[in-house]
Amino acid sequence: MARGYNVRANGIRQHLIHYPGQGPAMLLVPGITSPAVTWGFIAERLAERFDVHVLDVRGRGLTQAGDLDYSLDAMAADAVAVAQAAGLGKPIVLGHSMGARIAIRAARGAPDAFAGLVLVDPPVSGPGRRQYPSNWPWYEDSILLAQKGCSAEDMKAFCPTWTEDQRALRAEWLHTCQLDAIDTAFRGFHTDDVHQDLPHLSLPMRLVVAGGAPVIGEEDVAEIRERAPAIEVRVVEGAGHMIPWDDLEGFLAAVLDFKAT
């Protein structure tokens, strides 16, 4: 049975949801506007292989918000501190989108903190690189709508391929995504260079690519392989950036057999 809990880590209250499993500890770090609860249907399945703890990234969900530092470095420091405060030992970190960039930066800053990384469709934008394919108004408009109160039907304009249950959960929780936190993270997609971190990582890593999304192309995979030659690559063909929402079984097939040793 899933249970939420709080820890004090990196100077703030951090909220996680635990989905108990018998395997190695996994710290799951969601993307830019995904509170932990929205990953529940996925975490339940991941718990077949891992002991899953899903983090509400600062400024989202039930983790502390307000006047905080929302930079990539701050969020990366959170991941390291949370793993320690929650007693996870050296967890595998599964990061989706922004969460994957957090995982990369965190692992560089604390080389012994984690057992392995599963990097799910991380934005490869950055200084001198092409822009992230999603535009800012998509985030701002949906968050402002959620702040007023909206329905699953209202969310259909933003997430047309999602099920009603998935859209209802997003409509319920999106208002917890503090707009300036999201703005800082979105801007960071274009100013933070996580590619420079990759050559410094020696732990087991797997890149999971959304084959039906424009976030990571073949040339990006080639560059990532060049910078991190030992990285494994799995492609979920036809899936959009929110891979588990489009193809849960394909996502699980790309992730469940990951081993840190």
Query: The domain that contains 100 carries what CATH number?
Result: 3.40.50.1820
For residue 251, being part of any structural domain is answered with yes
- Please state the rounded mean pLDDT for residues 138-151: 98
Q: Tell me the pTM.
A: 0.98
Q: How confident is the model at residue 261 (pLDDT cuts 50, 70, 90)?
A: confident
For residue 97, being part of any structural domain is answered with yes
Residues 87-124: pLDDT tens digits? Answer: 999 999 999 999 999 999 999 999 999 999 999 999 99
Which pLDDT score, from 0 to 100, does residue 116 have? 98
For residue 28, being part of any structural domain is answered with yes
Which pLDDT score, from 0 to 100, does residue 217 have? 96
Indicate the number of domains in the chain: 1
Which pLDDT score, from 0 to 100, does residue 229 have? 97
The boundaries of the domain holding residue 92 are 3-132+192-255
Residues 171-218: pLDDT tens digits? Answer: 999 999 999 999 999 999 999 999 999 999 999 999 999 999 999 999
For residue 143, being part of any structural domain is answered with no
For residue 172, being part of any structural domain is answered with no
For residue 158, being part of any structural domain is answered with no
- Please state the rounded mean pLDDT for residues 45-68: 98
For residue 180, being part of any structural domain is answered with no
For residue 211, being part of any structural domain is answered with yes
Sign of CA dihedral 247, 233, 19, 160: negative
Mean pLDDT (the chain) is 97
